[in-house]
Structure 1
Amino acid sequence: MKKILLSATALLMLISCQNEVTETAPETSAVSLRGCASQEVLAAQMKADPTLALRMSKIEAFTEKAMLTGRLVNGKVEIPVVVNVLYKTAAENISLAQIQSQIDVLNEDFNATNADFSSTPALFSGVAANVGITFVLQNVVRKSTKTISWSTNDAMKSGTKGIAPTTPTTVLNMWSCNMGGGILGYAQFPGGSSATDGVVIDNNAFGRTGTVSGVYNLGRTATHEVGHWMNLRHIWGDASCGSDMVSDTPTHDTANYGVPAYPHYSTCTGTPVEMTMNYMDYTDDRGMYMFSNGQKSRMDALFVTGGARSGFGI
């Protein structure tokens, strides 16, 4: 179990940098291992706006206080969703059925009604969470583009090349587009600019009809990225034996890939069994199927009065 500790300095230390793929790059690398660029995007945002670290530090202080005092959501959070589809080819113009399948996956995963939730090992059954957040598709916005592939520079969120977000203080915006560089998706953490707030998902990994490598076709990329949007970190804390700021998730050596055999032991202090089936690891879609109660509490704290996403309805 990990001690919850955060400061603006610690936030900066958690981050590593990544070279971007330009949004017109012809290369669209095949994805063999899960690639989430949320942490790298956060690094770029912090570099561009030094005040972001302070805002995020205040969000963490609020989150910790809310969890300590039990001042969390009293009711059910409902998230309106707008899906922005950017396409150059007919295949990239994903169908309404594919979009709805993604909404269905989010509702299952965040309400513990996913069929594989019952696979949770006995060791973690006491902390496996029903987060209790629902998602409702509000609108689909489509735009034809000449862009071959997109990078992590948020160009898809611009009204010039992409689609600007719809009322991001009260709506979760999701972008479906052809991501380059082997990236499956990325999200913006709470505290960032409303002009770029939301979640980006590669069109091939969007919903249950996604086709990337045949292992990212269950819609779990969006579950992982929406977890970031709701203030969850990678379960290994983006560092060797790092902290994800959650007390009931075991310390992980680093990211796990594929579908690790259970039990998978960490070499960190205490050699705990790693929670490889957690949505915030890097396993294949079929290998992840649970959030923890500690993660639920972090997410709940966002939606209470004064929380970073309190504009969303309860």
Structure 2
Amino acid sequence: MKKLVGLICYCALFTVGCTKSSIDETTDVTNGLAANEAPITARHCASQDVLEAQLKADPTLASRMQAIEEASLRFQQNPEQFRLLANGIIEIPVVVNVLYRTAAENISLAQIQSQIDVLNADYSGTNPDAANVPTIFQGVKAGDVGIRFVLDQVIRKATNKTSWTTNDAMKKTSGGGLNPTSPTTKLNMWCCNLSGGILGYAQFPGGSSATDGVVMDNNAFGVTTTGAPYNKGRTATHEVGHWLNLRHIWGDAQCGNDLVSDTPLHTGANYGCPAAGVRSTCSGTPVMMTMNYMDYTDDLCMYMFSAGQKARMKATFATGGGRTGFAQP
């Protein structure tokens, strides 16, 4: 198991984008269908590219994120000194911003609600497949994280753009998208057609409130009849994990550190549905927690957070954690 070390080196991992390839520009409908509309074949992440752009744009980001990491450590070491909500449950209002060019992209309210339902099941530990957690990890599974999601508002906007990218244009009215609604007290999600096979991306605590939230491809939003193997709403579970300050389980490096003590070292990302008991090549060759939401496995094969990840997520709502505004009584 890993120790919570390496704060400074992790100050570079503040924004995450899950993708198969990285594209720089949005494509207008007048150009026809984009050549980069690749089929979704595997989860990948463009976090480093997005990160470098944000760090260049905001020289103060690194210090803010380091302060959040330090606050997270203080909370995890002595959580009883921090007051959250009296009943231990934090309720997150969710604003879904739908940007659409076609009728299919203008997803239904039922599909949107299905995503809220998946988030609530996954973050409360009531998802039916939680019963599949292997014996080796039963002692560290999170169970109920203590976070609930409530659909607050759906905002829809027609657009003539065939696709969007990780440049945050969908989060800006000036870029043809929609500005976030009350981002310090509401989780904003943007549902749109992401280019290059991108599934979604999230902003970590500490980033600008003007771009805070989670972006999702319309084919990976909610429980769908298309888009398998990413049709069970787990992309949002993964991305909201990033929004709550979780790293990828392999620490974005070979045998890297995700700053959680009870997740095993991973050689790297896992894809598809790995066989039970697969081991990493890292020190001690531990069994990898491939079913963890912060790996890259298929929706069908990810179904747990660890207790350490739960503590890290709850720390974001404590003093200095970056999401304190969401934990007000």
Aligned to 2:31: none
Question: How many residues get paired?
Answer: 313
Is 1:177 aligned to residue 192 of structure 2?
yes
Task: Name which of structure 1's ranges 22-31 and 179-188 shifts more when overlaid on structure 2.
Answer: 22-31
Give the TM-score normalised by structure 1.
Answer: 0.95
Q: Does 1:254 align with 2:282?
A: no
Compared with structure 1, are the counterparts of its residues 100 and 14 closer, same or farther at alpha carbon in structure 2 (3 Å cutoff)? Answer: closer
Shift of 1:299: 0.6
Does residue 55 in structure 1 map to residue 68 in structure 2? no
| Corresponding residue of 2:118 | 105
1:127/1:192 CA distance change after superposition, 3 Å: same
Equivalent of 1:223 in 224, 237, 242: 237
Unaligned runs of 5+ in 2: 29-33
SS at match of 2:161: coil
Q: Following superposition of structure 1 onto structure 2, how do residues 172-211 of structure 1 map, counting pairs within 5 Å?
A: 172-209=187-224, 211=226
Q: Distance in 2 between matches of 1:132 and 1:270?
A: 33
RMSD (Å), alpha carbons: 1.9
CA distance 1:12–1:306, shift in 2 (3 Å): closer
User: Structure 1: which amino acid aligns with 2:306?
Assistant: S
Alignment of 1:285-304 (within 5 A): 285-304=299-318
3-state SS of 1:215 partner: coil
Match of 2:128 in 1: 115
Unmatched 5+ residue regions in structure 1? none
Aligned counterpart in structure 2 of residue 278 of structure 1, from 284, 287, 292: 292
Residue 34 (structure 1) aligned to one of 40, 43, 49: 43
Give the superposition deviation at 1:16: 11
1:236 and 1:122 mapped to 2: Cα distance? 21
| d(CA) in 2 for partners of 1:47, 1:33 | 29
TM-score normalised by length of structure 2: 0.91
State how far apart, in whole Å, the 1-side matches of 2:120 and 2:77 are. Answer: 27
Map 1:239-250 to 2 at 5 A: 239-250=253-264
Whether the 8 Å CA contact 1:22–1:151 is kept in 2: the answer is yes
User: Given the superposition, is the C-alpha separation of residues 10 and 307 from structure 1 closer, same or farther in structure 2, using an over 3 Å criterion?
Assistant: closer
Deviation digits for residues 196-217 of structure 1 (CA, Å, limit 9, x no counterpart): 00000000000001622x1000
1:23 aligns with 2:26: yes
Moved more, 273-282 or 39-48: 39-48
The alignment-based identity, stated in percent, is 62
Which residue of 2 is the match for residue 80 of structure 1?
93
AA of the residue aligned to 2:73: E
Measured in 2, the distance between the counterparts of 1:16 and 1:76 equals 26
